[in-house]
Amino acid sequence: MNYKDEMRKLIDLVKQQSFDAPLESTLEDLTTLSTAVKDLSDRITTRTKKSLNPNDKGKTKPLSKVKKAKPFPSVTPLPIPQSKNTPQQKADKLNTLKSTDFNKQRDDFADRQQSVQPTKPQLPMQTLSN
Task: Enumerate the domain spans of the chain.
Answer: 3-52
Higher pLDDT, 18 or 69: 18
Q: What pLDDT digit, counting tens, does each position of 40-72 carry?
A: 999 999 999 888 887 765 555 566 677 777 777
Question: Would you say the pTM of this structure is higher than 0.85?
Answer: no
Reference 32, options 17, 47, 11, 5; nearest CA is: 11
Q: Is the pLDDT of residue 31 over 70?
A: yes
Instruction: Outline where the chain has alpha helix (H).
Output: 3-20, 23-52, 87-116
Q: Which of 34, 38, 57 minimizes the C-alpha distance to 47?
A: 57
Q: Kindly report the CA angle at 116 between 113 and 118, in degrees rounded to 5?
A: 120
